[in-house]
Amino acid sequence: MAKNNAKNTLTRFRKKRGRKPAVRPERVVEHADYVLKVVTSQEDRIAWDKLESAKTEAEAEAAFVRAQPFYRDVLKDRLTAILRWVREGKFPKYDLERKKRHLADSIAGDVLLSPRRSRDICYEERKRPASEKVGMILRREFYIECTCGYRGPADRGACARCGTTKPSPELLFEMTIEDTVAKPDPLKQRHVQKPRREDWQGPEVPGGSLE
């Protein structure tokens, strides 16, 4: 029994075996939301009838040739995934709002995921409790004291009461000193640091690259 318990203790927290996911679920959802914004902003410039009947990537590209250049390039980068979505043929036929979401969720994984798997990941990730999701900082502020009498967190870098962003001469001097100390002396950096292994690695793969 002692041997069995020891063995269980050692293996209890071992990572599960199996293939690692091609792309993190939260990244798939992020890219789906991004593509949805692109498609929504250009919905009147996309020839949906041409897109739904496309047989080749060239025909699919022709469906959004009227889109603004930047958004057209975003969609062109996902032509292969878009054509796979068209060939799957499971998109809503008449409800444009549902069709846009269906398209965005289907191609969020680009070529790394099938349209169906990409949609499933989006669905599963969105229904996860907020407490289990990785948070993102949307805003950072710092504590200030203003001549108007306000003391507390800044409001986008300004006083929350009077709105000023002007520092006092004393504070400006302190900021200048801190900035000078923080900057390294270029004359003292006479050697080049050896690059790390991570510096030679390329960007993350799409899904990833959809980043």
Measured distance CA(146)–CA(154) in Å, rounded: 10
pLDDT in tens, 39-53: 999 999 999 999 999
Q: Closest Cα partner for 3 from 34, 27, 11? A: 11
Band of pLDDT at residue 178, cut at 50, 70 and 90: confident
What pLDDT score was predicted for residue 5? 52
What pLDDT score was predicted for residue 148? 92
Global pTM value: 0.55
Task: State the average pLDDT for the chain.
Answer: 79
Rg of the Cα atoms in the chain? 26
CA atoms within 13 A on the CB side of 12: 7
- The percent of residues above 70 in pLDDT, for the chain, comes to 70
> What are the extents of the domains in the chain?
25-132, 143-183
Band of pLDDT at residue 177, cut at 50, 70 and 90: confident
